[in-house]
Amino acid sequence: MTRLTVIGSINLDLVATAPRLPLAGETVTGAALARHPGGKGANQALAAARLGGEVALIGQIGDDAMADEALALLRAGGVDLSGVAVDPTAPTGVALIAVDPSGENQIVVAAGANHGMTLDQLPARVEGPLIVQLELPIPTVEAAVGRAAGFVCANLAPAQPVSEALVRRADLIVVNEGEAAFYGDALHAGGGRVVVTQGARGAEMYQRGLRLAAATPPAVTAIDATGAGDAFVGAITVALIEGMDAEAALSFACAAGALAATRAGAQPSLPGRDDVERILAAGEPRLGEHG
């Protein structure tokens, strides 16, 4: 079993599924509200666990009623939460998400306790593979990467400035097209691999600016894209540290991301290993919700 650590955010997602997404300054009525555990760190930890990893999550929650709800699926999924601290002075992080019938979304995050996570809450050394994102304070993320002893996957999302040292240390950087445009050529400053996701069009992997591989996802009926990118990150990290080649790892991750878009919510939508392997083996032209 693949052992890895995720250092990242933990949120509770409040999801409003509406007839359409609002324009600036507009109110859209007729939405249905749901609550789901979320946060990029938590999502990626659970994604990796459901795909066969033995996962420990390091993060921070508030001392409030939302905390247990935010951790519920992680506990059920067997993620080690012994590294999750409680901040008595801040609320658990919340993401406010609007989703339209095609699965497109808009997200506003109130970081809460995530924003207060400091360097002294990190282990002195992170053994084994590590996944990080940018929903914690950047100095904390950069310190975590600097303390990593093994493979590092850096999901540079949401896009914001990071040090050249982080980029050079990362063995794998994952960004979407918008984030790739934000960072530009700086993404390729190190010798690690860079994956750019392109939604329903798939993903491409580069090294030192040269394309190594590309893959497209299976066709699915998208319900909610929330969590699809996190499913991809967890999947490609598991695939690469298991020794899959670039093309196989991209295909595995694209399938995981596509399946995550077939159900509502971030963590409830994350597929299991059998789900991913089944759709890859079948090559089905169309798939709805996974089981």
Phi, psi of 277 (to 5 degrees): -65, -35
Q: Which residues contact 25 (CB under 8 A, 6 or more apart)?
A: none
Determine what percent of the chain falls in helix, strand and coil, rounding each to the nearest 5: 35, 30, 35
Measured distance between the N- and C-terminal CA atoms of the chain, rounded to whole angstroms: 23
Dihedral (CA of 72, 39, 270, 287) sign: positive
Residue-wise burial string across 53-80, b where 16 or more C-beta atoms lie within 10 A, e elsewhere: bebbbbbbbbebebbeebbebbeebebb
- Rounded Cα distance, 22 and 27, in Å: 6
Q: How far is CA 181 from CA 40, 162, 173, 281, in A?
A: 20, 14, 14, 34
Q: What residues form DSSP beta bridges with 80?
A: 56
Query: Which among 230, 245, 274, 275 is annotated as catalytic?
Result: 230
Per the annotation, the verdict on 230 as an active-site residue is yes
Phi, psi of 103 (to 5 degrees): 100, -5
Point out the residues that are catalytic. 230
